[in-house]
Amino acid sequence: MIRLSTGRTCRSLPALLALWASTAALDCLAQGKASREVALKKAFVLHFLSLVDWPEDKLPRESAELVLGMYGFDPLGAALHGLTGKVVRGRRLVVRHFTNLEEVSQCHALFVSPSEQKTLRAVFDALADSSVLTVSDTAGFAEQGGVLNLRSGQNHVRYELNREAARRARLTLGPELLRLARVVR
């Protein structure tokens, strides 16, 4: 008889191994689903960047780099670092992590982590008049003033769009981006 850490006992080693294998399999499935969701959201962010036009004073034609900033910490933010070096509309993508709100206007697009939900007003204030595409996967992000918000559902990822926030940032959004979005403002 084998005593488990829960205080229960198991009569045989095969039963214990079966219990362990089923628990491990469920854990792997959960991790697999989470990593697929992160990969899908990462792909959405990269695609978003190809469907937006910035004003000339923010992103001059001769600019060789497009800067994707990250503010806050979460698994998607960490995965976005993997986009460094990708080419978006002829420009090399540079991914930078910001810890200071005074610096966030230096990027072209900013991914705001859910960890910063309580500071969204300060983030939007720091970006006023800066022509930065704001993206997140935080509940209520687009309604509060962000441009694009990724939302997860059963086996899919969708996004919300705040057209007014895009207009204030002087961003031109491609028709494909507009067509597939759930518009919140």
Confidence grade of residue 16 (pLDDT, cut at 50, 70, 90): very low
The answer to whether residue 9 sits within a structural domain is no
The answer to whether residue 17 sits within a structural domain is no
The answer to whether residue 77 sits within a structural domain is yes
CATH number, domain with residue 122: 3.40.50
The answer to whether residue 59 sits within a structural domain is yes
pLDDT reported for residue 6: 52
pLDDT reported for residue 32: 54
Reported as a single tens digit per residue, the pLDDT across 56-101 is: 999 888 888 999 999 998 778 778 989 999 999 999 999 999 999 9
The answer to whether residue 2 sits within a structural domain is no
Torsion sign (Cα): 136, 141, 147, 152: positive
For residue 158, what are the CA distances in angstroms to 23, 72, 105, 152? 31, 22, 26, 6
Reported as a single tens digit per residue, the pLDDT across 123-138 is: 999 999 899 999 999 9
Reported as a single tens digit per residue, the pLDDT across 160-172 is: 999 999 999 999 9
Total domains present in the chain: 1
What pairs with residue 95 in β-bridges? 68
Distance CA 75, CA 163 (A): 27
The answer to whether residue 103 sits within a structural domain is yes
Instruction: Give the length of the chain.
Output: 185
State the residue range of the domain holding 42.
Answer: 37-183
The answer to whether residue 8 sits within a structural domain is no
The answer to whether residue 56 sits within a structural domain is yes
